[in-house]
Amino acid sequence: HTRYWRDYARTIAGKQQLLISAYARALEVIPRQLCENAGFDSINMLDKLRYEHSKEGGIWYGVDIMKEDVVDNFSSFVWEPSIMKVNALTAASEAACLILSVDETIKHQQSQQDLPPGGIPGGMGGM
């Protein structure tokens, strides 16, 4: 899953590339947290997971807590309702956008108020 977003991010220039790369990293929080909660080496497990995802048809791989490994969830009959994933990703994205828009609004107002009438002051400011 994250491989798709990382590959897609490489095709885009500018700040959007950083945003999409951060989104890809955020998707890895779930398997990382599962590993840490189970007492596994999360770095090793994520490396295995990325490797399996890089293979053709490897999109179904996930962390199996019982086997302490990554497995093909489809062949193991572990199916997650896609509507729940879509709803979770949509809600998280909307929350992030709301936070960013509020932050930008506050930052914009402060930048207007903090500047003296002549613009940005020069010099070392009293040092």
Query: What are 127's two structure tokens?
Result: 């040092």
What would the pLDDT profile of 15-38 be if each residue is shown by its tens digit? 888 888 888 888 888 889 989 999
Q: What is the DSSP string of 59-123?
A: GGEEEETTTTEEEETTTTT----HHHHHHHHHHHHHHHHHHHHHHHHHHHHHHHHHS-TTSS--S
Quote the distance between the C-alpha of residue 59 and its chain's center: 17
Q: Could you report the per-residue pLDDT of 66-109, keeping only the tens digit for each?
A: 899 999 988 888 877 677 778 888 888 888 888 877 766 666 55
Q: Give the torsion sign (CA, 83, 84, 85, 89).
A: positive
pTM above 0.75, yes or no: no
* Percentage of residues in the chain having pLDDT higher than 90: 18
Q: Are 40 and 52 in contact (CB under 8 A)?
A: no
